[in-house]
């Protein structure tokens, strides 16, 4: 994540130039000096509003990372422990920026524990480690449900839905399933990564993400995933059966294993692994060192 994302940078510069240019043009045509203070005031007001987000991010980045959070991640996250100093610093900054921008709360805005908020932010930081230019597509934040699941009517403690990524609205995740996903790092399942993958997949299909390698630049993201889904042999796949539901679930399930247990995925499905490596611009099997994720 960037303090000032590229698209924000563009519009900030564009409008910062547009105000004085337009004001200068009006003054040249009318000769009325009153135009100049109005333009100056309008520009100052625009900048005050436009800079709120980057200033909030700058404060979050400069705040430093909580030692308690760092100790927690060092104790509980193999991925975080494996990062070198530079990558770990970016990870910590992404956590701070994510939490400064993204609402993470329980049902009805209820507070959740700092550990839960930290895991949500850390999950996003893992997936963004190779893509600092990306933004987590979570304008509506994350709603955390108590227990392991909720049902289709969004009743906590019922049904079997551990997470959901609706096209509009917040990402939904059941708290105990979230925590269990990070506690069991080697099982290839993580509900937060799964649901975040849906959001990234949707953004890529809409053309909202820039990515890709030379060998795939002629294909759209939809074509890449659809082709891999069609050629995948699910009868022999190491992915859970749920991956066969459709292309979106295929990508989300594969993303879980890519970050949780990359070695077996790379060995069994090298083509799929390469697609995920290109998409996320990182190789967790190298970051984490293969010895920490033995094949089973």
Residue with tokens 């299909």: 205
Predicted confidence (pLDDT) per residue in 197-246, tens digit? 999 999 999 887 766 655 455 688 999 999 999 999 999 999 999 999 99
Tell me the whole-structure pTM to 2 decimals. 0.83
pLDDT confidence of residue 4: 67
160: how many CB neighbours lie within 10 A of its CB?
Answer: 10
pLDDT of residue 6: 64
Ranges of residues in the chain whose predicted pLDDT is under 50: 215, 290-296
At residue 197's C-alpha, the angle toward residues 87 and 277, to 5°, is 55
281: left (phi over 0), alpha (psi -120 to 50) or beta: left
Model pLDDT for residues 10-42, shown as the tens digit of each residue: 667 776 777 777 777 776 888 777 777 877 777
CATH class of 63-292: alpha beta
CA distance linking residue 115 with residue 284, whole number of Å: 23
**What is residue 32's predicted lDDT score, i.e. its pLDDT?**
79
| Chain-centre distance for alpha carbon 197 | 8
**For the chain, what are the domain ranges?**
6-61, 63-292
H or E segment at 104? strand 104-106
Q: What is the signed CA dihedral for 114, 81, 199, 188, rounded to 10 degrees? A: -110
Cα-based angle 133, 73, 279 (whole degrees, multiple of 5)? 30
> In terms of Cα–Cα distance, which of 61, 83, 65, 81 is closest to 73?
81
């Amino acid at each position: 994540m960037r303090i000032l994302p590229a698209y924000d940078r563009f519009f900030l510069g564009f409008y910062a130039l547009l105000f004085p240019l337009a004001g200068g043009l009006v003054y040249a045509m009318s000769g009325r000096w009153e135009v100049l203070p109005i333009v100056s005031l309008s520009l100052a007001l625009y900048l005050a509003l436009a800079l709120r987000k980057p200033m909030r991010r700058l404060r979050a980045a400069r705040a430093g990372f909580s030692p308690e959070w760092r100790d927690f991640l060092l104790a509980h996250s193999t991925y975080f422990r494996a990062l070198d100093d530079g990558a770990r610093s970016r990870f910590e900054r992404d956590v701070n920026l994510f939490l400064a921008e993204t609402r993470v709360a329980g049902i009805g805005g209820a507070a959740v524990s700092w550990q839960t908020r930290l895991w949500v932010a850390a999950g996003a930081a893992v997936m963004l480690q190779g893509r600092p230019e990306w933004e987590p597509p979570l304008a509506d934040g994350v709603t955390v449900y108590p227990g392991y699941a909720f049902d289709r009517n969004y009743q906590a403690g019922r049904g079997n839905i551990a997470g959901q990524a609706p096209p509009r609205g917040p990402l939904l995740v059941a708290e105990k399933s979230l925590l269990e996903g990070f506690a069991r790092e080697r099982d290839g399942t993580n509900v937060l990564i799964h649901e975040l993958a849906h959001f990234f997949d949707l953004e890529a299909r809409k053309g909202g993400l820039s990515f890709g390698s030379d060998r795939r630049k002629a294909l759209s993201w939809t074509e890449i995933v659809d082709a891999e889904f069609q050629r995948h042999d699910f009868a022999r796949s190491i992915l859970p059966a749920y991956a066969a539901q459709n292309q979106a679930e295929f990508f989300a399930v594969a993303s879980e294993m890519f970050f949780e247990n990359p070695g077996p995925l790379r060995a069994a499905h090298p083509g799929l692994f390469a697609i995920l490596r290109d998409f996320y611009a990182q190789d967790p099997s190298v970051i984490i060192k293969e010895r920490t994720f033995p094949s089973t």
